[in-house]
Amino acid sequence: MRTWVRWGLGVVVAAVLIAAPATYYRATYDHAKRLRVVTPGKLYRCGQLNAAGFAEAFDRFSIKTVVNLQEENRDPMLPVRWQGKPTVRESEVCKAHGVKYVVLDGGVLDHPGQDPGSRPKVIDDFLAVMDDPTNHPVLIHCKAGLHRTGLITAIYRMEYEHRSPAQAVEELRANGFGTFAATESNVYLDRFILRFERGVRR
């Protein structure tokens, strides 16, 4: 009997030792998913945060504008906290904190009526946001904070900080885009970064 009790206690302790850190990680991840400084006072990036995570980021970095790059989810419902209810629209979270909310089609290469293969519309939409200093600081995000966010961060680096395409790709890879995904054969990398023309507005 004592052996079974000890075994049972061992299982419970092991479960707690595994579950507690995993739960803490997940809660922290959803709260501040890949939140990073791009340029202090100008641009920040992240994945989709929960409402409390956005509120903390707004206060911490004095964010004035949020740019959502998720064309498939233009105004997502956010849990107030990790796995929390109720939920609230992202636009409402921004409004409650006096933050401007902008939605851009971050993953769309060719809009209807646009010449196929031309510069993606989101580039110029993003530049229009960044060209207006009253929008700064800006927080950009997509779902994971890796691909669409990474491409738009690369545009920012090349346009405003005069980084080379090679430097932009290096940062893209370092921030989770993926070494094998960030090659010349990737149509997004080609259209967003390799063909990018600095100083052009359309």
pLDDT tens readout for residues 10-51: 544 444 444 334 343 344 456 789 999 999 999 999 999 999
Q: Is the dihedral of CA 73, 125, 152, 46 positive or negative?
A: negative
Let me know whether 1 and 48 are in one domain: no
Q: Apex CA 136: angle with CA 54 and CA 122, to 5°? A: 85
Dihedral angle computed from the Cα positions of residues 102, 152, 198 and 116, in that order, rounded to the nearest 10 degrees: -90
Let me know whether 130 and 163 are in one domain: yes
pLDDT at position 8 is 52
Let me know whether 172 and 139 are in one domain: yes
Confidence of residue 81 (pLDDT cuts 50, 70, 90): confident
pLDDT at position 2 is 59
Is there a domain that residue 110 lies in? Answer: yes
Let me know whether 93 and 19 are in one domain: no
Selected residue with higher pLDDT from 169 and 3: 169
pLDDT at position 154 is 98
Let me know whether 164 and 93 are in one domain: yes
Let me know whether 96 and 182 are in one domain: yes
The CATH number linked to 109 is 3.90.190.10
For 4-123, where are the E strands, in sequence order?
36-39, 43-46, 65-68, 77-79, 87-89, 100-103
pLDDT at position 26 is 43
Let me know whether 73 and 159 are in one domain: yes
Selected residue with higher pLDDT from 86 and 54: 54
Residue 61 pLDDT > 60: yes
pLDDT at position 39 is 98
Let me know whether 69 and 82 are in one domain: yes
178-195 pLDDT per residue, tens: 887 888 889 999 999 999
Q: What is the mean pLDDT of the chain?
A: 88
Amino acid at 202: R
Confidence of residue 197 (pLDDT cuts 50, 70, 90): very high
Say how many domains are in the chain: 2
Let me know whether 57 and 101 are in one domain: yes
Let me know whether 17 and 117 are in one domain: no
Looking up tokens 């803490």 gives 24
94-141 pLDDT per residue, tens: 999 999 999 999 999 999 888 888 999 999 999 999 999 999 999 999
Where residue 25 falls (left for φ over 0; alpha for ψ -120 to 50; beta otherwise) is alpha
Let me know whether 105 and 45 are in one domain: yes
What contacts 14, CB < 8 A, 6 or more positions away?
Answer: none
Let me know whether 22 and 38 are in one domain: no
Is there a domain that residue 199 lies in? Answer: no
Give the predicted TM-score (pTM) of the model: 0.84
Residue 86 pLDDT > 90: no
Is there a domain that residue 200 lies in? Answer: no
pLDDT at position 94 is 98
Element (H, E) at 140: strand 138-141
Tell me the mean pLDDT in the region 72-95.
Answer: 91
Q: Domain of 100? A: 33-194
- For the beta sheet containing 36-39, the strands, ordered from the edge strand earlier in sequence to the opposite edge, are 36-39, 43-46, 138-141, 65-68, 100-103
